[in-house]
């Protein structure tokens, strides 16, 4: 089975930065007070950060069973964070239209 942990770590860290840019731009433009965008982006940040943490643990652990468990946790956290980002984008589209 191919190891997904390095890919999850790379994508999670990149999307964590993207989520932080979303939050920062919402605070600067003062849009965050009228929508729930910053809440969804903040939740996504947390899930991406924990996904990074567990994927890193998966890479660094020597035990195969722990490796699989950490990778699975990181994978699910990454998926939840992606759903939060999708919700943020949908809210933004509805807000713009």
Q: What sign results for the dihedral spanned by CA atoms 35, 87, 23, 53?
A: positive
Q: Which pLDDT tens digit goes with each residue over 34-74?
A: 677 888 888 999 999 999 999 999 999 989 999 999 999 99
Q: What sign results for the dihedral spanned by CA atoms 33, 34, 38, 43?
A: positive
Q: Which pLDDT tens digit goes with each residue over 5-44?
A: 888 889 999 999 988 888 888 788 777 666 778 888 889 9
- Round to whole Å and give the CA distance between 16 and 14: 5
Q: Residues near 54 by Cβ (< 8 Å), separated by ≥ 6?
A: 70, 71, 73, 74, 77
- Round to whole Å and give the CA distance between 32 and 26: 5
| 3 and 71 Cβ atoms separated by less than 8 Å | yes
Question: What's the pTM?
Answer: 0.87
| 59 and 4 Cβ atoms separated by less than 8 Å | no
Q: Tell me, what DSSP letter sits at residue 63?
A: -
């Amino acid at each position: 089975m191919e190891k997904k942990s390095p890919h999850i770590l790379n994508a999670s860290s990149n999307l964590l930065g993207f989520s932080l840019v979303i939050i920062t731009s919402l605070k600067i433009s003062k849009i965050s007070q009228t929508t729930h965008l910053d809440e969804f982006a903040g939740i996504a940040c947390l899930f991406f950060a924990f996904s990074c943490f567990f994927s890193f643990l998966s890479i660094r652990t020597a035990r195969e069973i722990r490796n699989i468990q950490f990778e699975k946790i990181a994978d699910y956290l990454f998926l939840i964070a992606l759903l939060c980002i999708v919700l943020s984008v949908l809210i933004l589209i509805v807000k713009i239209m």
